[in-house]
Structure 1
Amino acid sequence: MNAETRVAERSGLFVTFEGGEGAGKSTQIRRLADQLRRRGHDVLMTREPGGSPGAEAVRHVLLSGAAEEFGVRMEAILFAAARNDHVEEVIRPALESGAIVLCDRFIDSSRVYQGVTGNLEPDFIEALQRAAIDGVVPDCTLILDLPAEVGLKRARKRGAENAPDRFEREEIETHEKRREAYLEIAEAEPGRCHVVNAERAEDEIADEIFTIIEPLIRELALRQTRNAESVG
């Protein structure tokens, strides 16, 4: 699934955030959303699994571990079903309206979590993704990268108030393998993916993210102007 499969002239902008546990995705999504809204942009924040009523119901099943007994293949199918509902009910309509969509996890999480560390065949995962997203590929993916040990410490600190989900409970070797898988995806798709060092201060990370996103925002404004002129 490469850049050429994106919807060429969509009205909005689709940005996904990826990375291991404790990488700070939610924090950086909120910061970017706030910055874009201050500049007058229509922004939708969403997440996976979840993001739509149907997908949120599946999220509870997946993160609680209730689906584990059915095997990783069934789990991957459930993720894909949740993603399809999310895309069709939330993401696609928002993009068609011209919004900037910021999503916490998307297709690369399935490639990494169910594909690489779930030991599912790449062809099976890619077939599921094609069916689930039906052409709605991110314009930009930000991979927040940090050592697995650092991320897990952050996640467990956060989990002092909230019980860790099934993915946070896994062994550190599994988390480090996922980190490597994300970096391999970024290397294979440099036009879409940007690796951001997530060990730094929040402000530094936020500044780098905005530097990456800003040219895409300018392109979006030009595209929307052209679309408006063509309609007029």
Structure 2
Amino acid sequence: MSAPRVPPSGRFVSFEGIDGAGKSSHLDAVAERWRQRGLDVVRTREPGGTPLAESLRELVLHQSMDPLTEALLIFAARRDHLQQCIEPALARGAVVLCDRFTDATFAYQGAGRGFDPAVLTTLEAWVQHGPHGLRQPDLTLWFDLDPAVAAQRVVAARAPDRFEQQDEAFFRRVRDGYRARFETQPRRFARIDAAQSRDQVAVQIAAVLAERGW
């Protein structure tokens, strides 16, 4: 039996979904599996991933602010994250696994907060454009889950932050925002049914990666 293939070096995979969808634990599992195969794996998150971006994350998660300020802080954190972490890792041939990226901004600040998506698109172009064009993940795993179920999981797991305290209507808008990104960029996205058991979700992820030869 042939050994499982591994993802080519210099690949960028994002894990997306509303709070409580379970993406982070599955990201850790994928990271560990690929490290055991000898890959250089960078596990990171947004907002965050660098000292500066982590400081901005604390402000975004815990300080009250208007949607434009929120979006600007998130994109400022993303710029530093790209320059200091993501781009250097990809350049040396690492696989970058990121807990959320720009899709989350369009889902949370755009659809959830009702902020102008045209402004977000402009910020996306300014912040993420580089020598290789607009930096986007090579693959985005979208953990899709009903907000009512997600809320129950969050309450059972931890004290909610400023976003997790939002009502169900907010998270339904966020879910719709993710769906819109999925529908406009289907080749990059893979939808994961996060309502299934942990083992069943892991099987879905493995199938997506196998389909790509990873």
Give the structure-1-normalised TM-score: 0.84
Counterpart check, 1:118 vs 2:117: no
- Where do residues 47-126 of structure 1 align in structure 2 (5 Å cutoff)? 47-64=45-62, 66=63, 68-69=64-65, 71-126=66-121
Q: Report the 3-state secondary structure (helix = DSSP H, G, I; strand = E; otherwise coil) of the residue aligned with 2:186.
A: coil
Residues 15 and 99 in structure 2, CA contact (< 8 A), matched pair in contact too: yes
Counterpart among 202, 206, 223 of residue 202 in structure 2:
206
Residues 43 and 97 in structure 2, CA contact (< 8 A), matched pair in contact too: yes
**Number of aligned positions between the proteins:** 203
Q: 1:190 to 1:12 in 2, by over 3 A?
A: same
Structure 2 distance, partners of 1:170, 1:150, is: 14
Deviations, residues 59-81 of structure 1 (Å, cap 9, x unaligned): 011101x1x23x11011000000
Structure 2 distance, partners of 1:105, 1:87, is: 13
Counterpart check, 1:143 vs 2:108: no
Structure 1 gap ranges (5+):
1-9, 219-232
Q: Report the 3-state secondary structure (helix = DSSP H, G, I; strand = E; otherwise coil) of the residue aligned with 1:169.
A: coil
Identity across aligned pairs (percent)?
38
114-123 or 12-21: bigger deviation: 114-123
Amino acid at match of 1:197: D
Residues 16 and 103 in structure 2, CA contact (< 8 A), matched pair in contact too: yes
Q: Tell me the equivalent position of 2:165.
A: 169
Structure 2 distance, partners of 1:124, 1:154, is: 33
Q: Tell me the equivalent position of 1:133.
A: 128
The answer to which structure has the higher helix fraction is: 1
Give the structure-2-normalised TM-score: 0.90
- Where do residues 146-157 of structure 1 align in structure 2 (5 Å cutoff)? 146-157=145-156
Structure 1 distance, partners of 2:87, 2:207, is: 25
Structure 2 distance, partners of 1:48, 1:126, is: 18
Amino acid at match of 2:10: G
Residues 183 and 195 in structure 1, CA contact (< 8 A), matched pair in contact too: no
Q: Report the 3-state secondary structure (helix = DSSP H, G, I; strand = E; otherwise coil) of the residue aligned with 2:49.
A: coil
117-126 or 91-100: bigger deviation: 117-126
Shift of 1:214: 3.3
Structure 2 distance, partners of 1:210, 1:42, is: 19
Shift of 1:200: 1.1
Alpha-carbon RMSD: 1.4
Q: Tell me the equivalent position of 1:6.
A: none
- Where do residues 175-214 of structure 1 align in structure 2 (5 Å cutoff)? 175-214=171-210
Residues 108 and 177 in structure 2, CA contact (< 8 A), matched pair in contact too: no
